Amino acid sequence: MPDEQVFQKRQTAYKIRVKDILDSRYVKTEGFAPNYLEINAQEISRINIIGVVVQKSELDNYKTLIIDDGTGEISARVFENNKLLDTIDVGNIVLIIGRPREFTSEKYLLIETIKEINHAWAEVRKLELEKNGGKSNSLPDNNSIGEEAVDLDPTSKIVKLIKELDKGNGVPIEEISSKNIKDIDKTLNMLLKKGDLFEIKPGKLKVLE
């Protein structure tokens, strides 16, 4: 089934400049396929950026960071009562893996994972992108500060777990609830409410991408 194949495919997190995100076209898709940015003839639905936190704020139901990587500034957000940003402060250099979103023509990132890093890694990223002509670049498997090295918040842990366990027919709620993840039942309900998860059949969950 084509939709199932698209659903199961894991999207690469692309190393990219903020400028390229802001200058790109945001494309909304239908069905299971994720929304994406068109950048350098690539369809990019997950992003890996490094930048400095220049502003931090909290609104009604989400928290926001403004990230500056030297080419531009972009908003990065987490929703609900997510504690993912509690240890992040203005002035920190961070690596963010997230998904591009657009609301009222403003592009922003929906944070999946975030990690404070040191200045040396920011310089490595800058040189890497300059060497690549500023173009987006797929995340290498051996990157020591890559996706798998970033501590996951409960929301991301659950989504990652369901993706790993799902063989195409969904994952039983009981199997997920039995895992040792903080506030797992509350987080599952929140993800279902937001539409990030759905019940493919009673008692079986899938991730909506």
Q: At residue 52, what are phi and psi to the nearest 5 degrees? A: -95, 135
Q: What pLDDT does residue 153 have?
A: 64
Mind listing the pLDDT tens digit for each residue in 97-155? 999 999 888 999 999 889 888 888 888 888 877 776 655 555 443 344 444 434 456 77
Contacts of residue 84, defined as CB under 8 A and 6 or more positions apart, other chains included, come to 78, 111, 114, 153, 155
* pLDDT on residue 122: 81
Q: CA nearest 119: which of 175, 178, 50, 67? A: 50
Q: What is the mean pLDDT of residues 23-44?
A: 85
Distance, in Å, from the CA atom of 203 to the CA atom of 173, rounded to the nearest integer, reads 6
Q: What is the pTM of this model?
A: 0.62
pLDDT score at 5: 43
- For the residues 60-89, what does the mean pLDDT come to? 87
Among 43-47, 70-74, 119-123, 178-182, the range of highest mean pLDDT: 70-74
Q: What is the pLDDT, as a whole number, of residue 140?
A: 40
